[in-house]
Structure 1
Amino acid sequence: MTDSGHFHGRAPAALISAPGSGQGKSLITAALARLHRNAGRQVRVFKFGPDYLDPMVLERASGAPVYQLQPWMTGEAECRWRLAEAAEQADLILVEGAMGLFDGTPSSADLAVLAGIPALPVIDAWGMAQTFGAVALGLARYREDLTVREVIANRVASPRHGALLAEGLPADLTLLGAVPRHDALTLPERHLGLIQAGELADLDERLDQAARVLAEAGLDRLPEPVTFSAPRPTPPPPLLAGRRIGVARDAAFAFLYPANLDLLRELGAELHFFSPLNDTALPPVDALWLPGGYPELHGATLAANTSMHGAIRAHHDAGKPILAECGGLMSCMDTVVDGDGEAHQGFGLLSGTARLTGKLQGLGMHALRLGDDELRGHTFHHGTLENGPAAQLFSEKQSGTGGEPVFVKNGLVASFFHGYFASAPALVASIFDGRFSLSVGSE
């Protein structure tokens, strides 16, 4: 008998990780998802930690939305119930880790142990033979509470090379497959990571080809089944009932967690999507959300859309709420300077200049606190602000010092900080109904 108060399911599952970044785990995860999807299986993929770009590719590969799992940002309970919910229907669950298997607090390994999922390391074998076994052994033995039974060798030079790698493994570790170097297992990148999935005209062809490469390497076998069970979450109160929110979504503003959109709807909001690049007017809304993305790559097009500029300024002049995150913040400045040094007119809601630099300016897990509420999330940007206004608040780093400034002005809440809305539903609701701005005060 099914317990309506719980999610419960059993499905093959693995957390795809690596000794460190750059080993190829993102494309291996995407190719695995596409391989099993093409075999007629229902595949659910999750991403450990904050990330917008990898999930875009993973969603195309699997055909299903990709949600974040990170015990600090999303909470342990959400990690458990999302996996259990997926296991009720999925034939395969994959979680793509972040950085190295044990990097970060919490790490990908922490999530694997929390959820009871075996880790499946992807190890770049280029330039290695028997030493591959030592690396695999270290990953498998570093923590007694972590399960590692198989590994994947990536960028293997030849069948003989693959055989050497397999021979060098300890008896209780298996080589799931030796993946050769192949163009299908690479994607173009820019300063924030992979190119957005929607910008790659041949992405589906690449994924199908990558899936075939993995099948030929023997990676078409399913991992071991895992049983998942967790209580269903309690729905949030309808704090935004009847509230209409305009959400910018196009090539310039695309960094949107599915969970954040879900939470706004669960709060009772009605979402209206619009394109600052292509639309000349705003939909009839009470509040706006300008998420992160790449406005600096579309500076000339955004600047030329004077009708949209006027509509956004009129919304702001009326004191209606606006949340602007990262690229959204940059677009709200008087001027936006792109990576080539070209200056473009911004929306003009905040004084000063936003400038894209070649150096990473902010990275890490952050929280925005107001009263008893704590909105958790992250920052990752190459932008700087020059001659900008004074900040009314600062986010706080999970570890270390140096938060991101938060600018509050006439209903506008703008920062390089990206929030995970479900971590603080009441605070998020207060941003979109204007109470946050009133409680903080503005410049």
Structure 2
Amino acid sequence: MGTFQITGGQRLSGSITPQGAKNEALQIICATLLTAERVTISNIPDIVDVNKLIDILADLGVKVQRKGHGIYSFKADDLNLDYLESDEFKVKGASLRGSIMIVGPLLARFGKGYIPKPGGDKIGRRRLDTHFEGFQKLGAKFRYKPGESFYGVEAKKLKGAYMLLDEASVTGTANIVMAAALAEGTTTIYNAACEPYLQQLCKMLNRMGAKISGIGSNLLSIEGVSELGGCDHRVLPDMIEIGSWIGMAAMTSSELRIKDVSFDDLGVIPTVFSKMGIKVQRENDDLIVPQQDHYEIETFIDGSILTIADAPWPGFTPDLLSIALVVATQARGSVLIHQKMFESRLFFVDKLIDMGAQIILCDPHRATVIGMDKATPLKATTMTSPDIRAGISLLIAALSAEGTSTIHNIEQIDRGYENIDERLRAIGAQIVRVN
């Protein structure tokens, strides 16, 4: 198990470029299964979760070629579908939650798709019902073997249908859209997710020959086509990394330039950090966070405590709530963090309390943070990363703390952040990886 040793209290400076978006890459890579033609994708992040998915596709028979850093081509013209029922696939698929999104493309193109119960972050209940209810509405039959924790769907031919999703699931919407792209007739999806990464998937599918309208809204219409072709696609920068760097600059009183952020795809992220008192300046497509020794959290106009809550897009992404929470520990003022979508994501706050933060965990979904205005810095400690986003939050806390902190189980951080220790050292962080 790997470990980071971080000596905090150092001001950072310089520029950092966000990696390609993990959540988009997982969707886009799965979509290459929809065609026998070559699909080339650039700006793919070199992170554990994405590399696992690429390995699964290669084992399935996809011809994968690495063209350069972050650039891959995929050609799914000769697949071995028997691999889906192999013991090897059951192990690999179960280790990666994103593997669920191979089911829709395989079902649409080959009439069947299987997946072991996937893993991922232990952040609460993350059910798969939306995916399989959507497939069933398209005409697929659901297969489940409880003893094996193995799911499957089969259909001779999918047929378009109207569906109202029970939740605006991003991966669920992506999976259903990919399946519907090759279905017979028109599929209408209401309460669809509309995140920029889902928009990117729909735009890519349209370049491949799909007929999807309503992109960017929660009402999608997919007119099925008989086949799709190849295309080139570039993945957006990762908005979660961008938010992480904004928070890191504020916590360490540093000036940072975050390059090529695709500002128009950031939604309310800059606004939420601004409400926490963090100055964010736009220069062309870069974000500049100037050095601030203090930042003050706003209140609502009636003087009540500010609440920051997650919500489906265009609301604030749940992946950045842990960043907002740790940043609030050194702000002037207080804030209520309300994690609505996952019930186990706030349990890492005990580590921050050990470091001296003033946090009241109200229940599994809410935490009140009383900022210390940097009058009392956090103290270094030893901790373990429970998931990707909590892991980066603890790392940010360690960078601002007095002394040397140790973070174990950094494989969780590596799942979502590419070469993070090297990139942070380049802007002045004192961080060492110990294997």
Q: Structures share a fold, TM > 0.5?
A: no
TM-score of the two chains, using structure 1 as the length reference: 0.23
| Higher relative contact order, chain-length normalized (CA < 8 Å, sep 6+) | 2
